[in-house]
Structure 1
Amino acid sequence: MRKTMILTLLTCSLVFAGCSNNADSKVNSAEPDQTAQQTATAQAPATTLETTPVTTPEATPEETSPAIGQEPAAGSMKQDYLKKLDKIEEGLTDLQALSDEGTTASMIEAADKEYGRWDAALNEIYQVLKQQLPKDEMAKLKEKQLKWITERDETAAKAAAEFEGGTMEPLEYAATQSGVTKERCYELVELYMK
């Protein structure tokens, strides 16, 4: 039991550390686990396709991307958003102290906050793409995005099912959602943004 707990904490630490910003990563699909999904869903915010502004502690006015609907002064919006996503990753260090408290509750809180930041970034990117893409292309992306949301939740439920009934179940769910959502942010910027 102790080995399992230590292994889980190490795994969670790696997830929180954000091992890579590799935009080529693919979203894994998984079989749904209704019990784990229902339990963990109560712990994590739901993804919507609405706009939510993204802020990071280190961002200064010169470093932030333009407001939605405004063209950047120089460079491409794609590059601006890649930088913005990198800043979100760097800004996650403020959650490390919460995670380091060592209680499951504090680690879950940190994972939920991390997921919330990536989810907000994803929603902002989606809103920018709604303005940039032609209607027919946006309609296709909307279908893909709705399918991706289901796959994200199934992937998180499958990962959390390994800890079914335990205190680590909601932590694993939120951490997996966070990692998959981060990958999707980079993927959308790389594939669709101009």
Structure 2
Amino acid sequence: MFVLLGACSNSTDEASGEVKKQSQIKNQKDDSTTVTDINSDTIVAEKEPENKNADESTTNKPNSLKAEYMGKLNDTDKEIVEMRENPIDDTTIASKKVEGDIYDLLDELINEIYGVLIDQLPSDAMDQLREEQREWLTYREKAAKEASLKYKNGTMEQLEYVIVENKLTEERCFQLVENYMN
């Protein structure tokens, strides 16, 4: 069984959400886990099944919504990398199409995650998250606009805006799952 742990980073990420560098990873608490590949963004760990005779269908099921959505986020991250590595061509128009498709994918995913949280969180916690989400949306739009201004009136302005929106939305998906989902 392979477990893929991805990480997003920005200057405001909490230490608990960051991936540790290879030099910091010496031992895992679970002796059956071995780190097989490490780079700055991803850790791939191979884990022996705890019960080697267990029915495979039960060992592959996530034990929580949090685990399920972390899997979805990691799969989405792989899909995004694939989309960016294989545009139709090298034009700005093709890049805008890819980023637009990524935006749609992430927008659907963040709305799905938010819907799960509505069902899962107590009403007072959800009210607080709603306010936090509104503030985050304002932050995302401001950050994307600010980043795009370096290309003001150029062909890259809109592309940079969507790239930043996508990066921040993907990071927010991970934050919502890590911090709020059970």
Task: Give TM-score, length-normalised by structure 1.
Answer: 0.62
Q: Give per-residue Cα distances to partners, 1:3-58, cap 9 Å, x unaligned.
A: xxxxxxxxxxxxxxxxx942564569xxxxxxxxxxxxxxxxxxxxxxxxxxxxxx
* 1:185 and 2:170 are equivalent in the alignment: no
Match of 2:146 in 1: 158
Shift of 1:119: 1.4
How many residues end up aligned between the 2 structures?
Answer: 130
One-letter amino acid of the counterpart of residue 185, structure 1: C
The letter for the 2-side match of 1:113 is: D
Residue aligned with 1:162, SS: helix
The reply on whether 1:85 has 2:81 as its aligned counterpart is no
Question: What residue in structure 1 maps to residue 7 of structure 2?
Answer: 22
**Which amino acid letter does the alignment assign opposite residue 162 of structure 1?**
K
Residues 27, 105 of structure 1: CA spacing in aligned structure 2 closer, same or farther, 3 A cutoff?
Answer: farther
Question: Deviation string for 1:76-99 (max 9, x for gaps)?
Answer: 11011001000011122145322x
SS of alignment partner, residue 101 of structure 1: coil
Deviations 1:61-108 (A, max 9, x none): xxxxxxxxxxxx65011011001000011122145322x611111101
Write out per-residue CA displacement over residues 95-146 of structure 1, whole angstroms, 9 at most, x where no aligned residue.
Answer: 5322x61111110111111122111111100000000000010000000001
Do the aligned partners of 2:147 and 2:161 also contact (CA within 8 Å) in 1? yes
The question of whether the paired residues in 1 share the 8 Å contact of 2:151 and 2:157 is answered with yes
Would the alpha carbon gap of residues 133 and 119 (structure 1) be closer, same or farther in structure 2, given more than 3 Å must change? same
Return the index of the structure with the highest Cα Rg. Answer: 2
User: Given residue 143 of structure 2, which amino acid in structure 1 is its aligned partner?
Assistant: T
Gaps of 5+ in 1: 1-19, 29-72
> 1:96, 1:110 within 8 Å by CA — same for their partners in 2?
no
Identity in percent: 34
Structure 2: gaps (5+ residues): 14-60
The answer to whether the Cα contact below 8 Å between 2:83 and 2:98 also exists between their aligned partners in 1 is no
TM-score (norm 2): 0.66
Amino acid at match of 2:85: Q
Q: Distance in 1 between matches of 2:75 and 2:118?
A: 23
The answer to whether the aligner puts 1:97 opposite 2:63 as a matched pair is no
Output aligned runs, 1:1-194, within 5 Å.
21-23=6-8, 25=10, 74-92=62-80, 93-98=82-87, 101-194=89-182
